[in-house]
Structure 1
Amino acid sequence: VTMNNWIDDVSAIVDGWYGGEEGGNAIADALFGDYNPAGRLPITFPQSVGQAPLYYSTKPSGRGYDYVSMSGKPLFAFGYGLSYTTFSYTNLQISPRQSSGTDTVTVSFDLQNSGSRAGDEVAQCYFHDLVRSVIRPMKELKAFQRVTLQPGEKKSIAFRFSRKDLAFYNRDMQLTVEPGATRVMIGGSSEESRLEGEFVIVR
């Protein structure tokens, strides 16, 4: 379904997926404001069929033809979703900044409901290995947490990553942790990076 012809004329789209017997009531509650939705897309919506396949974790390649006049930016990104309130992200902390690859890396930040209504935010943490022996994803979803916040309320969120979370398969198909820098991106979707930092694995 191509939405480009009318997408700018609407404030929001409700994607009901498979709502079951109570799906109609759930959609009505969201439309009339009785419930503040917090669903997030498990897929990426391209702008047109010419962008397909399109993934949040890789850059589009091999489609740089002259007749293609669009960027690689999706219409709706993986992890995207609307709310009747707003959220702010602050105070990113990464500990330790230098890791041996065997200790736990903790990523923490403050999440606040900066709007006037109670709501849920799905805080998402993505990694990007800057230099490795094999090509790694541009972004890789490593953790997420759904957080309920009242207006003005702030909570501290922490994600902890073990050696298993930092490992990947090398050319010899061996699970390994390699030295190098990793960028950490925190936000409400794969396209929305509110906080960024780095840690380094050393030997």
Structure 2
Amino acid sequence: QIPAYYSHKPTAKRGYLFTSKEPLFPFGFGLSYTTFAYSNLRVEPARISPQGTARVQVAVRNTGRCRGDEIVQLYLRDRYSSVTRPVKELKDFRRIALEPGESRVVEFAVTPDKLALLGLGMRSVVEPGTFDVLVGGSSVDLLSAPLEVVESR
């Protein structure tokens, strides 16, 4: 939809309003002579305490004809938070080299420091709730699995 202009004519500097809002290349995008496929994303355990650690595993396969390097990226999304957080946050990454047809399981640890936010008094705190664990080769092509942080009793 074209925005309304009140009491003035549109100028050349407002052209950005009429373009696509998607970036040309997503964050983490990289050119390669091969392709990669992600599968079998697992988060274990799926429920942790605020002081707990979860292990994330994903299988990455080189589906192309050339040897290639891939940057496997781990993002976290806090579904509900007491403060506004980014839609997704890059928390870790691994660079792996794969031959054609080769597959490898990549592992990450989701520790309390990766789940924490700055709360009242500017202190680091891990809030209970559901997080989405997102893994992929860029910020848009991602596999997703839930991680529940539950209050210790």
The interval holding the TM-score normalised by the smaller chain is 0.7 to 0.9
- Partner Cα distance (2:80, 2:121) in 1: 18
Letter in 1 for 2:19: M
Residue 192 (structure 1) aligns with: 141
1:86 aligned partner, one-letter code: T
1:43-122 alignment runs, 5 A limit: 66=3, 68-122=17-71
Q: Which has the higher contact order (CA 8 A, sep 6+)?
A: 2
1:135 to 62, 68, 84: 84
Given the two structures, how large is their TM-score scaled by the length of structure 1?
0.65
Structure 1 segments (4+ residues) deviating >6 Å:
none
Q: Which amino acid aligns with 1:78?
A: F
Q: Displacement of 1:191 after TM fit?
A: 2.2
Gaps in structure 2 of 5+ consecutive residues: 4-13
CA distance in 1, matches of 2:146, 2:31: 28
User: Equivalent residue for 1:37?
Assistant: none
Partner of 2:149: 201
Matched, 1:152 2:101: yes
TM-score (norm 2): 0.86
1:163 alignment counterpart: 112
Tell me, yes or no, if the aligned pair for 1:113 and 1:153 is still in contact at 8 Å: yes
CA 160–133 in structure 1, closer or farther in 2 if over 3 Å, else same: same
Amino-acid identity (%): 41
Residues paired across the two proteins, number:
139
- Note if contact 1:134-1:171 (Cα within 8 Å) is conserved in structure 2: no
Deviation (angstroms), 1:176? 0.3
**2:102 maps to amino acid:** E
How far apart, CA to CA, are the structure 2 residues paired with 1:130 and 1:65? 32
Distance in 2, Cα, partners of 1:201 & 1:181: 6
**Residue aligned with 2:81, SS:** coil
Higher strand share: 2
**Aligned partner of residue 122 in structure 2, secondary structure:** coil
User: SS where residue 172 of structure 1 aligns?
Assistant: helix
Q: For residue 91 of structure 2, what is the amino acid of its counterpart?
A: K
